[in-house]
Every structure is written in C-alpha cells, then in structure tokens.
A and B are shown apart, each in its own frame.
Chain A
Amino acid sequence: MDHPELIGIEASGGTEGGGGTEAGGAGASERDRAGDRARARSLAETAARASYGRLLALLAAPTGDIAMAEDALSDAFEAALTAWPESGIPANPEGWLLTVARNRQRDAWKSAAVRTSMPLDAVPELAGGTAEPDEDTMSAIPDKRLALLFVCAHPAIDPGVRTPLMLQTVLGFEAAQIATAFAVPAPAMAQRLVRAKRRIRDARIPFAVPDADVMPRRLPAVLEAIYGCFAIGSATDPGAGTGAGAGAGADAGAEPEAGMGATADPDSLAGEALYLAETLAGLLPAEPEAAGLAALICLSQARAAGRRDTAGRFVPLDEQDPARWDAALIVRGEAHLRRASSLGRIGRYQLEAAIQSVHCARRITGRVDLAALRALHEGLARIAPTLGALVSLAAVIGESDGPDAGLATLDRIDPGAAQRFQPAWATRAHLLALAGRADEAAAAYDRAIALTTDPAVRAHLADRRA
C-alpha cells in the first residue's frame, strides 16, 4: 500500500465484484457487454482509488489550480467509462487517464487564455503535451503527492481545513463524504474546500517539498493533519494513543477532540489516515516521525476489532482479546517503528507508537510491561505535554505505584484545562474507585459519562460506576 503501483490488466481480473454489475436477463452478447462495462467501471474505480492523488498532484502542480485539475481528472474518468468497454482497457490505464486529463486541462487553459490573454507557454507542462495517450508516460512519472501534502498543510491554509483537503485531493473523497466524517453540514464543508483551493491557486502556494532547512518547521503540520484524520477516525476508540492500559477505561491519550465523538464511519477514516501516513513515510524515508506516525496508526488500527465484543459492547484495552487483533498490521507497525528508531531522532509519534507497541506485545507475552509503559509515558509527557499525554501518565502511574500516586499526578494537571476533558474524569473515577473512595468515584464517573458521546463507552462507564 505504500506505493500504489501502476495498475495493470491483472488488476481487473478476478475483481469482478468491484463494480455493481447491471447485467439483467439480457442475451449473452449483451450480457458480455454489460460485463465489460462493469469490469471497466471496476477497473476505473480501482484506478481512482489507487492513483487519484498521484494524478491529481501531477495535474495541479504546474498551475496550483487544484479545482481545475479535479475537473480534468473527473472528465478523464468519465471518458474511461465510455471508451474502455469499446476499445478495451489500455495497457497503461493511469497513463491513459493522465493524457486525457491533460488534454482537458489544455482545452480549459486555451479558453481561459482567450479570455485573459494569458500566455499558454507560461505553463511548461501544458505547452508541449502529446494528444495521444502515451504508454511510456507513467514510467517516468514523478510522484508529486508529497508536495501536495505539504500544500494541504501549508501554514497559509486554515488548520481546520488541512485534513479535509488531504482527504479530497490525495484520496479523491467528495466534499459531502468528508462533511459527514467531520460532522459538518455538507455545503459548509464544500465551501471551506473551495475557498482553500482558491487560496492555493491565487496566493500561489508552491507545489514543492520544503528544503531540508525548512523541513523541521513544515513537517509537523503535515503529521498533525494526518494524525487529526486518525484521531477523528478513532474518536470512538478510548485507548487510542494511550497507555492507560490501565483499564482507566478512558480515552486518555487521545486528543481532546477525539473522544468527543464524531459521528462518521470511524473505521474507514482511520484506514485513510493509515494510507496517508504510510504514503508520507514512504515518500520521506529519512524522517523518523513520519515512520513513527505510520507505526502509531498501524499499531492502533491493529486493535480495532478488539475494541468491541461480539455484542458491540465497548472493551477496554486491558481486557481486549489479543486473538482479535490484526497480527499482520502489528508486524507492519513494528517494522515502521524499527525503521523510525534506526534513524536516531526520537519524537512524539514514535513514543506514542512505542506505547502502542508495548500493548500489542501482550499478544505474544501475555502481559503488559508496566515499567516500559511508564518510562515511555514519562518521555511523552516531557516532549509533548498535551493534556492527553499528562492524563495517560497519571493513569499509568496509578497502575504501577497505586491509585494515590496516580491521583496526585492527576491533581498536578491544570484543573481549568482538565475540567471538560473526558479522559481526565474517567481516569480520576477509576483511580478513586481503586482507592476505595466510592462516593467520589461515583461523582467522577458521572462527570465522565456526561462528557462521553459514544453510547458504548457511556454504557461501559455506567457499568463501572455501578
């Protein structure tokens, strides 16, 4: 998945189920045609999924006009649906799509040039294109998705729209789908995206990977936007990015906005975050935090199936059945983490991934290494003292040194900030219960429940309270 390779003919074989087939009770030849059409549709969809971002980045880079590139690309996909069933699927579908899209773009430019007398040769990539699909195009194609990710998370772009922009431009999501994921009305999301794209074009935000000297300043925003996608995706996952191993039963460690509950389809959004993170890590092999983020998302996603029991009830981390975790994804996450640490620069995402790794190790060892967990949480609280990290540390200290020590750590957190932070209350409730302070625990559980939107987590906390 790191580098969606060129889709060849083989991608079409055997994936019949991909596109909805419209073949009804028609005659054999007609059914064949319908089958071809379905196959073409399925292939086009696979192409869309695998190479949308690559094509879009390439089309948008010369002019910075993402909206125009999107139009050209969607025209090309439309054309594929018409042409491929008739003429057969081209040997290089991606190259075919790119050429058609470039032609559309050139047409649009010509008509714009007539209106504004803008010189066409101002756009080198448009000036000397070929009209015929070029089979060799793709072999020499540069991957501009990295530049596109940096455009999406550019400091001149509103932080709130960075993740949606990535979802739309790199993965090809519609504004309405993104709106659902972010629990925002569709027209509002569409408008934000349009505005951001106009800004990218008009202010001429460059499609460029920052130089090494600026990279440390620019990379965190990209990581944060991908992490944001993951955080929303795992909003219903108490225990994401935490240790609270601890059965604090809380979202300790997740960012405040996580746990507040988006209503989207979390699994798929976390899956997209994983795709973005692995893409970024693949494109920036020298950046340990990029690999660290990929590791974090892999290792957290690996436990997705364990977070609910068969009846759909919430299962806290320390009670999850490791047999239900995704072993292959854990192996992949560990590989990212090893690569990150081999680069010798520790960071927030690597620490969070290492915390996840300690939990995942229970699958093999049958136990949680509390000392390692505690050391990692202390490190995290030192280099990235977010509210989530501080609460997670308190939970883990409560686990290793007893509830009083955990409560004391919790009390040192700024109460103003923790007041509306669900994990702080869930952790406090858990520690108070362990300390035998039943009345106070009940009150803290009430606060935690009031701040929880996920019904399964609410039910779990209510159980604990009782």
Chain B
Amino acid sequence: MRYALLLNYPEAGDVGLSDEDLAAGRAAFDEYLKALNTAGVFVSTEILQPVSVSTTVTTRNGELLIQDGPFADTKEKLGGVFVIEVPNLDAALTWAERCPAAQYGVIEVRPVAVTAQGDEWITPS
C-alpha cells in the first residue's frame, strides 16, 4: 500500500531559523531518508520551496484565474511530501512518527489512490 506523508509546518522564514538550525534539520532529514531506503519503503519525495514563490491556477467556467500565494493561507504550510510503500496504516504511521517534521509540524498520512507510470494510470496495491 502506498501512502503520502504530507509535511505541514511553519516555514523557516516565518519562525526565523538560523543557518545552524537549518543544517541540523537537513541532517535529521538525511538520516530519515537513509532509514526509509534501508527499510526499502522509500518511493519518492519532493520538498517544496516556500509559499512566497507559490502561484495558484484556477479555471471556472472557462475563465482563467492566476493568483500569487498558496491555496490556503495558514500558519502551517504544505512543505513537502514523502511517498512510501508499506503494508498498512500502522507501518505508515510509524514512519510519520519518525519524520523529523513531526516534531515541529503536522504530518498528514494519506493513502495514494492512483499514480502513473508513463501514460498508464496505476492503482497501487
């Protein structure tokens, strides 16, 4: 079963993190990634740039609306995604618990519904 761990946390700029803080954070994520790979559950990850460079796109009744900023303006923002392949929710929750961002943010665990390979839609089993 494939799960997405959605990392929501206050952005570094908003809470004023120092370079050392960021370096420590990167080291923690480095460890986490190695652990995921060692366990053979890692599928992919994308860590996102801040919402200050985010742009939203909507079309309603054929009308295009492009706006600056994120989809929802909240204190904690979607900052990244880890996709993992594990047998069940308990295993996914254990990995979410180990994610460094769980200590200062909120990890939302969502089962993946469909993914794609080439032109093929695939339902991960």
| Residue ranges of A at the interface with B (Cβ–Cβ < 8 Å) | 116, 118-119, 122, 154-156, 202-206, 208, 210
- Find out whether the CB atom of B125 lies under 8 angstroms from the CB atom of A208: no
Q: Closest Cβ of chain A: how far from B124's Cβ, in Å?
A: 11
Q: Contact at B89–A204, with CB atoms within 8 Å?
A: yes
**A116-B123, A118-B125 known; A203 and B89 CB under 8 Å?**
yes
Residues on the B chain within 8 Å of A118, using CB: 123, 125
Output the least CB separation between A362 and chain B (Å): 46
The 6 closest A-B pairs by CB, nearest first: A206-B88, A204-B88, A203-B89, A204-B1, A205-B89, A206-B90
Task: Bits for B37-70, please: 1 = Cβ < 8 Å to A, else 0.
Answer: 0000000000000000000000000000000000
Residues of B within 8 A of A210 (CB): 90
In the complex, how many residues of chain B place their beta carbon closer than 8 angstroms to a beta carbon of chain A? Answer: 10
User: A155–B123 Cα gap in the complex (Å)?
Assistant: 26
**Chain B residues within an 8 Å CB radius of A203:** 89, 109, 111
B1: min CB distance to chain A, Å: 5
Residue contact B125 to A156, C-beta cutoff 8 Å: no
Nearest-neighbour CB distance to chain A for B90, whole angstroms, equals 5
Q: Does B36 contact A (CB under 8 A)?
A: no
Contacts of A202 in B (CB 8 A): 111
Q: State whether the Cβ of B87 lies closer than 8 Å to any Cβ in chain A.
A: yes
Query: Counting CB contacts under 8 A, is B93 at the interface?
Result: yes
27 A-B residue pairs with Cβ-Cβ distance under 8 Å, sorted by A, are A116-B123, A118-B123, A118-B125, A119-B125, A122-B125, A154-B89, A155-B93, A156-B89, A156-B93, A202-B111, A203-B89, A203-B109, A203-B111, A204-B1, A204-B87, A204-B88, A204-B89, A204-B111, A205-B88, A205-B89, A205-B90, A206-B87, A206-B88, A206-B89, A208-B88, A208-B90, A210-B90
> How many Å lie between the Cα of A116 and that of B88 in the bound state?
21
CB A275 to nearest CB in B, in angstroms, measures 27
**Nearest CB in chain B to that of A122: its residue:** B125
CB-nearest residue of chain B relative to A155? B93
A273–B93 Cα distance when bound, in Å, is 30
A-B CB pair tally, cutoff 8 Å: 28
CB of A198, distance to nearest CB on chain B (Å): 12
> Secondary structure of the A side of the interface?
loop
Q: Which residues of A contact B87 (CB under 8 A)?
A: 204, 206
User: In whole Å, how far is B109's beta carbon from the nearest beta carbon of chain A?
Assistant: 8
Give Cα A210–Cα B93 distance, bound, in whole angstroms: 13
Residue of B nearest to A208 (CB): B90
* Chain B residues proximal to chain A, CB less than 8 Å: 1, 87-90, 93, 109, 111, 123, 125
CA distance A156 to B1 in the complex (A): 16
CA distance A210 to B90 in the complex (A): 9
Docked CA distance A154–B88 (Å): 13
**Nearest Cβ in chain A — how far from B31, in angstroms?**
21
Scoring A118, A202, A204, A206 by chain B CB atoms within 10 A of each residue's CB, the highest score goes to A204
Interface centre among A116, A119, A156, A203 (most CB of B within 10 A): A203
Task: Give the distance in Å from the alpha carbon of A464 to the alpha carbon of B88 in the complex.
Answer: 57
Give me 15 other A-B pairs in contact (C-beta within 8 A), A206-B90, A208-B88, A210-B90 excluded. Answer: A116-B123, A119-B125, A122-B125, A154-B89, A155-B93, A156-B89, A156-B93, A202-B111, A203-B109, A203-B111, A204-B1, A205-B89, A206-B87, A206-B88, A208-B90
Q: How far is the CB of B83 from chain A (nearest CB, A)?
A: 15
A122 contacts across to B, CB distance below 8 A: 125
* Neighbouring A residues of B123 by C-beta, 8 Å: 116, 118
Cβ contacts under 8 Å, A116 to chain B: 123
Minimal Cβ-Cβ distance residue in B for A203? B89
Counting chain A CB atoms within 10 Å of each CB, the highest count among B1, B89, B109, B125 belongs to: B89
Shortest CB-to-CB span from B89 to chain A, Å, is 5
- In angstroms, how far is the closest chain B Cβ from the Cβ of A218? 9
Interchain nearest-CB distance for A20 vs B (Å): 44
Cα distance A116–B123 in the bound complex, in angstroms: 9
Contacts of A208 in B (CB 8 A): 88, 90
Q: How far is the CA of A203 from the CA of B89 in the complex (A)?
A: 6
Closest Cβ of chain B to A165, distance in Å, is: 16
Q: B98: shortest Cβ distance to chain A, in Å?
A: 14
Interchain nearest-CB distance for B37 vs A (Å): 22
Taken together as a complex, chains A and B put the C-alpha atoms of A156 and B123 apart, in Å, by 23
Closest to B113 in A: A202
Residue on A nearest B86 in the bound complex, by CB: A204
Q: How far is the CB of B33 from chain A (nearest CB, A)?
A: 24
Complex: how many Å from CA A122 to CA B124?
A: 12
Nearest chain B CB to A205's CB is how many angstroms away? 5
> Shortest beta-carbon distance, B60 to chain A, in Å?
30
Residues on A with C-beta less than 8 A from B88 are: 204-206, 208
Chain A residue with the shortest CB-CB distance to B87: A206
**Distance (whole angstroms) from the CB of B63 to the closest CB of chain A:** 35
On chain A, the residues within 8 Å of B90 by CB distance are: 205-206, 208, 210
**Residues of chain A with a CB closer than 8 A to B125's CB:** 118-119, 122
Q: Give Cα A156–Cα B96 distance, bound, in whole angstroms.
A: 13
Q: How far is the CA of A122 from the CA of B123 in the complex (A)?
A: 13
Q: Which residue of A lies closest to B110 (CB)?
A: A203
Give Cα A119 to B124, complex, Å. 12
| Assembly CA distance A206 to B93 (angstroms) | 12
- Rounded to whole angstroms, the CA-CA distance of A154 and B93 in the bound complex is 12
A202 to B90: give the CA distance in the assembly, Å. Answer: 13
